[in-house]
Structure 1
């Protein structure tokens, strides 16, 4: 796998409202584990659409991993121009700082938001330009990722497209593993 699209929930969809929320570190750890395993398979590019939440956390993970894996690249392919325009200043600054460090930034539609078709086009474009999708998504808790997830499942039936899902159970296992590791260091 050379190119991986990463997506998932927006922060508010999973009850994350502060950058200090410990859930972010758990999600980032899950993403990091998946990216590192895919680096062993030849991963070169990670693509996101620049949405707040999982995608921006994934971008932060990629930028951290670039220190040890300088051949890893980050692309931000937004659905439309000025997609961050209505965000608060803190979120705009976060996006701008990540975009400045990304290896490639472009908008699929060359106009600001006009209709939901731009979002469908973005999803399809991401699938066509990547070899697989890593999605932080659990069918038990629907949210905006369901549209890309369902499109990707359908797309993967007719192509060699790899789907990787991080569910809430996977995140719980990371929490338990971290607790186990911190408990065992106390014993040592």
Structure 2
């Protein structure tokens, strides 16, 4: 696989107690933990490439953190790779979210699109691609989640592929390693 890589993913914001409100303390704690885990992967595991799927919530937060880290001394080698599920992804989002996605696309080391149209299959292909590219999966995820959810299937796929998995619980911010 060459350079070590980590995929970052998580529940849809609707799953969080705070929904889309990022100024809530729980959201701030989750973001802080995501950042700490990304730094640990970089510093301790030698991970230089981070993949995100471009979805609202965890993907966007992680992408913004990775780009901020890249500006800091010692993190110049960090790379953000964005993998979108289909060409029109994000088209129906609110203006602020669209701008955040556009910013990440412009500043990623690479941005690619996996599927052709909006649909479950494109998201599944994207998620499998993210896991296939990565040595690690960092997920904001609740083990009690519905088995039909994309994030659940992604975590299960990562387990099946033997990836090292780091989970951040969306309610308690507890860390679990797999």
* TM-score for both structures, normalised by structure 1: 0.81
Task: Report what 2:56 is aligned to.
Answer: 52
The structure with the larger Rg is 1
Q: CA deviation at 1:153?
A: 1.5
Q: Residue 129 in 1 paired to residue 133 in 2?
A: yes
What are the equivalent positions in structure 2 for 1:71-110 lying under 5 Å apart?
71-109=77-115
Task: Report what 1:12 is aligned to.
Answer: 14
* TM-score for both structures, normalised by structure 2: 0.85
Runs of 4+ displaced beyond 6 Å: none
Task: Report what 1:2 is aligned to.
Answer: 4
Distance 1:99 1:7 in 2: 17
Which runs of 5 or more structure 2 residues have no equivalent in the other structure?
none
Aligned residues: 167
Which runs of 5 or more structure 1 residues have no equivalent in the other structure?
174-188
Q: CA deviation at 1:167?
A: 1.8
Distance 1:35 1:55 in 2: 13
RMSD after superposition:
1.9
Of 14-23 and 29-38, deviating more is: 14-23
Distance 1:121 1:144 in 2: 10
Q: CA deviation at 1:169?
A: 6.7
Distance 1:100 1:168 in 2: 29
Distance 1:22 1:144 in 2: 26
Distance 2:136 2:174 in 1: 24
Distance 1:57 1:102 in 2: 14
